[in-house]
Amino acid sequence: MMYLLSIVVPPLAIMLQGRPFQAIFNGLLWLGSLLFILLPFVAGQVGWLVAVIWAVALTYNRRQEARDRRLIDEAVRRDRQIRA
């Protein structure tokens, strides 16, 4: 679901991941590109694509960070059990 949101409304997806400053910058890029898409400029399409890729990458990294945190917590728990 977050990936779909990252494609449709990238700033909202970034905001929901708890990164408000990146969401503001992504929103400025996204809105600016949407304005340029209305005009026949390639820059608007490139800017929109950058905003979407940025949001998708953050969504992927957020899931990866949660997975890494679970693995670290499990390793620490096992280490404490071995030492006890």
Contact yes or no for 1/8 (Cβ under 8 A):
no
Q: What residue numbers bound the domain in which 58 lies?
A: 2-83
The pLDDT value recorded for residue 46 is: 83
The pLDDT value recorded for residue 41 is: 66
| Choice between 50 and 43, residue whose per-residue pLDDT is larger | 50
In this structure, which amino acid lies at residue 80?
A: R
Evaluate if pTM is beyond 0.85.
no
- Count the neighbouring beta carbons within 10 Å of the beta carbon of residue 80: 9
| Choice between 36 and 39, residue whose per-residue pLDDT is larger | 36
d(CA 2, CA 12): 10
Instruction: Mention every residue, 6+ apart, whose C-beta is less than 8 A from residue 27.
Output: 10, 11
The domain tally of the chain equals 1
Question: Given a cut of 70, is residue 19 above it in pLDDT?
Answer: yes
Give the position of tokens 């969504």: 59
